[in-house]
Amino acid sequence: MIKIRGEAKVAYVDGQACEFEEGETILSLVDRLHGRGHIPTLCDAPQLESYGACRVCSVEIAQSENGSRRVVAACHTPLTESLHVFLESDRVQRLRRNIVELVLTDHPLDCLTCEVNGNCELQTVAAKVGMRSVRYPEGKHHMDREKDLSHPYMTSDLSKCINCSRCVRACDEVQGQFVLSMFGRGFESRIIKGLDTSFANSDCVSCGACAQACPTSAISDIFRSKSIEPTAKTRTVCTYCGVGCNLEVSTKNNEVQSIQAPVDAEVNHAHTCLKGRYAFRFYNHPERLRSPLIRRKGEFVEVSWDEAYETIVDRFREIRSKWGADAIAGISSARCTNEENYLMQKFIRAVIGTNNIDCCARVCHAPTAWGMQQSFGTGAATNSTSDLEKTELILIVGANPTHGHPVTGARIKQRVMKGVPLIVIDPREIELVPYAQYHLQLRPGTNVALLNMFAYFIIEAGLVDESFVNERCEDFEIFREKIKQLDIDELERVTGVDRKLVREAAIAYASVSRAMSFHGLGVTEHSQGSKTVMLISNLAMMTGNIGREGVGVNPLRGQNNVQGAADMGVQPHQGAGYLNVTLPEIQEYYEKSYGVSVSTDIGYKIPQMFDAAKEKKLKSLWIIGEDVVQSDPNSADVIKAMTSLDFLVVQEIFMTETAEYADVILPATSFLEKSGTFTSAERRVQRVNAVVEPLKGTKVDGQIIVDVMNRMGYKQEDYDPAVLLREISEVVPFFKGIRWSELGENGKQWPVVEDGTDTKILHKETFKRGRGKFHFWDWVESQEIEKNSEEYPFILTTGRILEHYNSGTMTRRTGNRVICGEDILAINPRDAADKGIETGDYVRLFSSRGEVQLHAKVSGEVKPGILYTTFHFPEHLVNNVTSEEKDEESLCPEYKVSAVDFEKVLRDNEEMNIKEGAERMKETTSSVDG
């Protein structure tokens, strides 16, 4: 008997007894027994729900071996106890052949020149059912269908369409975009985009799910992703956001051809966003840095690696001996692997001798790490994204997942469309708002006030999980008393959100038995960012939403490996494994591991590095993969810091705004050219595998660090992720059981104990810190508003757009730029009317720090008084305008609240046009007059 685990019933497949799970279909059982493709199908795909349209998967069933048989579609017929299934009877074989024959009557038989020849599912199925010839006259409908090559990525040739609806269902069930639909009836049926427009003019978000689902070449992409041409396929992990999507990369002659999403990837199940699937051509872009550069007489000149290394080592040694180790600092990269980040912090701590090490978490989720550590003891997501399948309510605070974390965003959208209530707390009407039950559209900077109201109404409604709080938490009574004393009238006024709405949403959150929260930079990038994180933790604890499936506090971490960078000790107060560097016993622990003495003084955080540089206390900085001039607030001030340094090393893949100020530039490699591990937002440590060789002239970041370590006299083996992971497992307690060879395709979620068992849910029995701690914080107005709002009465809040990633260094060098090529300012219609601005007008946006000019979009997505834009384009440098205020605890910049004003301006060419027009008008008028 073929057995399965757990409770099972028995059915018979071609006479063989097989156990099946309740609800399992015939097709899923046979796929499990014999592998996919044993029963031919056309409309079925593993990433889609059963559809039962094509009937190619027809089988016969009977209640007994010799009972009367009937034909059913295997894909959507559930098994029942003692059912007999006959897979290959004459009747079903004839039926399958006839169906495929009818499909082929109206399909071009140009297989040899088709892009998917050899990988076409129709071709495979036709061969499997034994098709040799088509008896019917050729249909003409496919001939009328033109190719659509309008889009930078997506293509269609609907002459190849077999009307299986897989693309339509992928767009609906995977992405939730509803761009594709089946139009017409009978022979006239065809796929349309939007209201029968092109890909380029539709609302397509280029996720490629339709192209991957299409069994033929009817829908494809410019990379011909389903072609069999490539010679090798390598599995790796996306380099953009913290979702951690797995990618299957096809290569030929050491060049990337295309990327698909593995169906068995636990994180992304055959799905990606357009960044992961299509935005890869930056990796061999002509502008890639291909040689070390040294600035001489104001110009960069190409030098050998040896010369670059010698310069770096000489200058570091000189600065250290003259000014001490604390005059040197490093900024490591969340784009780099865990192993590289571990090496960089080790270099700064063990070789230079300071704790001056930090990374971009400082400008995104440092408040999450700090805040959650105060509440729970661990600064990482408590649950797994797959818990979305179990939760009964989703709370999103200050995040725009469909743009920032698109695969998780799509998953949230799917759950909400299936009836899971959604609460959105955000100043902007983000894409998920129309799906939400509650949108609490607060004024930027008032998260603490709103979440305190939320807690107030939960307490008032008697919905606190008293037993959870009593058994597992501390300081709740202090918190409760403080919350009860709040002035709700005042909080309603400052947030601008109707208390009734807050009350209803709070009661909805506290009334379900499983509520899951997600938060993003709209929480952390505030002066009260860390406090807001602790309040979100409070909400989870007071409702018992911790330590189980479908609950928890789940930060949507920004960059692909920002979680890993922090885990590896890329922060100035905690070393690898979040151990407190100031404690003598920890100092001893690291000294034993690194074999040298280490400092117990807390190092500089990034903003402190900039201040120290301007004060001439910090003399040298080594920045890896971080464009601080573009991505940190108040660009002019960051430039001042860069130019104040005696010696700046920038390790990058492109010349960036920051690299322009470097003394030495080291050409590094992208994720496609190296191996290591990334840790995703759900603590999942996954293997990143080199797909192509590093571009000539470049080096793997980890090897560069090792080279400098060795030249500075510290013996470190050449970069090898397997060896380094072993070393990390000896230093980082929650990596104890992680081995390169045992990570498998889907990785492991830390903590991983010695025997290799990983952890999907944190804080199940007790919190990492023992008891979960409640903190009360009063809302205070941002200093930015206090100081500047009279002169600059509007609040600017910034964020990311789907097509681009942060400073856009990579995405701006791909087809994504064609889809979105500039930062745009969203203005409420009322404010736009007051200033005489229409969509498309050019606007000067200014603050006390500086100004930028952007095109306007008049939009109800923001309330009156609020403006919104992205910060992806150095041409605009939006961070010229943003505030210098910071989170009080972590020093994360307050990007989300900048006091600004704006006015309509004319661009130079528009002014020219108007001047020319006026001249022409004058000429015409005078000639008429004459």
Binding site for ligand SF4 (CB under 6 A): 238, 240-241, 243-245, 268, 272-273, 275-276, 405-407
- Which residue type does 827 have? I
Q: In this complex, which beta carbon is closest to ligand SF4, that of residue 241 or of residue 536?
A: 241
Q: In this complex, which beta carbon is closest to ligand SF4, that of residue 545 or of residue 870?
A: 870
Q: In this complex, which beta carbon is closest to ligand SF4, that of residue 380 or of residue 900?
A: 380
Residue 206 Cβ, how far from ligand SF4 at the closest point, in Å?
11
Q: In this complex, which beta carbon is closest to ligand SF4, that of residue 389 or of residue 475?
A: 389
Q: In this complex, which beta carbon is closest to ligand SF4, that of residue 51 or of residue 805?
A: 805
Distance from chain centroid for Cα 582: 34
Those residues whose C-beta lies under 8 Å from the C-beta of residue 182, and which sit 6 or more positions away, are 163, 165, 168, 189, 190, 191, 192
Residue 790 Cβ, how far from ligand SF4 at the closest point, in Å?
41
Give yes or no for a contact between 331 and 626, defined as CB atoms under 8 angstroms apart.
yes
Helix (H) or strand (E) holding 219: strand 219-221
Q: What separation in angstroms does the CA of 221 have from each of 218, 224, 273, 632, 743?
A: 10, 5, 14, 35, 32
Q: In this complex, which beta carbon is closest to ligand SF4, that of residue 270 or of residue 641?
A: 270
Residue 405 Cβ, how far from ligand SF4 at the closest point, in Å?
6
Q: Is 792 in a helix, a strand, or coil?
A: coil
Q: In this complex, which beta carbon is closest to ligand SF4, that of residue 377 or of residue 406?
A: 406
Residue 243 Cβ, how far from ligand SF4 at the closest point, in Å?
4
Q: In this complex, which beta carbon is closest to ligand SF4, that of residue 238 or of residue 551?
A: 238
Q: What separation in angstroms does the CA of 203 have from each of 195, 432, 494, 788, 827?
A: 10, 15, 36, 39, 22
Q: In this complex, which beta carbon is closest to ligand SF4, that of residue 243 or of residue 540?
A: 243
The DSSP letter of residue 694 is P
Helix (H) or strand (E) holding 72: strand 70-73
Residue 558 Cβ, how far from ligand SF4 at the closest point, in Å?
10
The DSSP letter of residue 197 is B
Q: In this complex, which beta carbon is closest to ligand SF4, that of residue 243 or of residue 725?
A: 243
Q: In this complex, which beta carbon is closest to ligand SF4, that of residue 241 or of residue 761?
A: 241
The DSSP letter of residue 172 is I
Query: For helices 529-542 and 476-484, what crossing angle results, to 10°?
Result: 110
Q: What separation in angstroms does the CA of 480 have from each of 493, 579, 775?
A: 22, 32, 10
Tell me the helices (H) and strands (E) count for the chain, helix number first: 29, 38
Distance from chain centroid for Cα 173: 20
Other beta carbons within 10 angstroms of residue 355's beta carbon come to 27
Q: In this complex, which beta carbon is closest to ligand SF4, that of residue 520 or of residue 544?
A: 520
Give yes or no for a contact between 734 and 751, defined as CB atoms under 8 angstroms apart.
yes
Residue 432 Cβ, how far from ligand SF4 at the closest point, in Å?
15
Q: In this complex, which beta carbon is closest to ligand SF4, that of residue 244 or of residue 445?
A: 244
Those residues whose C-beta lies under 8 Å from the C-beta of residue 199, and which sit 6 or more positions away, are 148, 150, 151, 154, 155, 156, 193
Residue 277 Cβ, how far from ligand SF4 at the closest point, in Å?
7
Q: What separation in angstroms does the CA of 213 have from each of 53, 167, 206?
A: 15, 6, 13
Burial class (CB in 10 A: 0-12, 13-18, 19+), 251: middle
Residue 149 Cβ, how far from ligand SF4 at the closest point, in Å?
24
Task: Give the start-end residues of each E strand in 145-197.
Answer: 147-148, 154-157, 180-183, 190-193
Closest CA to 357 of 83, 504, 638, 571: 571
Helix (H) or strand (E) holding 915: helix 908-929
**Using CB atoms, what's the residue nearest to ligand SF4?**
276
Residue 372 Cβ, how far from ligand SF4 at the closest point, in Å?
22
C-alpha 228/C-alpha 680 separation (Å) is 31
Residue 411 Cβ, how far from ligand SF4 at the closest point, in Å?
10
Residue 391 Cβ, how far from ligand SF4 at the closest point, in Å?
20
Residue 246 Cβ, how far from ligand SF4 at the closest point, in Å?
9
Residue 209 Cβ, how far from ligand SF4 at the closest point, in Å?
11
Q: For the chain, how far is it from start to end, CA to CA, in angstroms?
A: 104
As given in the structure block, the two tokens for residue 626 are 């971080």
